[in-house]
Amino acid sequence: MTVVETRVGEAPAEATAGASTEVEALVPDATKLAVATTREQTSRVSQVVTLVAVIGPVIGLFSAMGLFWGVGFRLTDLVLFVAFYVVCGLGITVGYHRYFTHKSFEAAWGVKVALAILGAMTLQGPVTQWVTDHRKHHARSDQEGDPHSPHLSGDGFVGTVKGLWHAQVGWMFATKGMERGRVYGRDLYEDRTIRVVDRLYLVWVALSLGLPFLLGAWIGGSWADGVEAMVWAGLVRIFAFEHATFAVNSICHTFGRRTYDARDQSRNNWFVALLVFGEGWHNNHHAFPKSARHGLARGQLDLSWLVIRGLERLRLASRLRLPTAAQLERTPRTA
Of 179, 323, 152, 322, nearest in space to 249 by CA: 152
Alpha carbon distance 275, 282 (integer Å): 13
> Binding pattern to Zn ion, positions 139-168, x when CB under 5 A?
------------------------------
Closest CB to Zn ion among 76 and 245?
Answer: 245
We find the least distance from the C-beta atom of residue 206 to Zn ion, in angstroms, to be: 28
- Cβ(119)–Cβ(95) under 8 Å? yes
We find the least distance from the C-beta atom of residue 63 to Zn ion, in angstroms, to be: 30
Closest CB to Zn ion among 216 and 280?
Answer: 280
We find the least distance from the C-beta atom of residue 26 to Zn ion, in angstroms, to be: 15
Alpha carbon distance 94, 114 (integer Å): 11
Name every residue whose Cβ is closer than 8 Å to that of residue 274 and which is 6 or more positions away in sequence.
280, 301
We find the least distance from the C-beta atom of residue 38 to Zn ion, in angstroms, to be: 13
Of 94, 30, 99, 101, nearest in space to 261 by CA: 30
Closest CB to Zn ion among 42 and 266?
Answer: 266
We find the least distance from the C-beta atom of residue 286 to Zn ion, in angstroms, to be: 6
Closest CB to Zn ion among 266 and 300?
Answer: 266
Question: How many residues form the binding site for Zn ion (CB under 5 A)?
Answer: 1
We find the least distance from the C-beta atom of residue 116 to Zn ion, in angstroms, to be: 17
Of 41, 84, 94, nearest in space to 236 by CA: 84
Closest CB to Zn ion among 76 and 259?
Answer: 259
We find the least distance from the C-beta atom of residue 236 to Zn ion, in angstroms, to be: 26
Closest CB to Zn ion among 163 and 216?
Answer: 163
- Cβ(121)–Cβ(305) under 8 Å? no
We find the least distance from the C-beta atom of residue 21 to Zn ion, in angstroms, to be: 20
Closest CB to Zn ion among 68 and 106?
Answer: 106
Name residues contacting Zn ion, limited to 241-270 (CB under 5 A). Answer: 266
Residue 3, strand partner residues: 322
Closest CB to Zn ion among 208 and 250?
Answer: 250
Nearest residue relative to Zn ion (C-beta):
266
Q: By the criterion CB under 5 A, which residues form the site for Zn ion?
A: 266
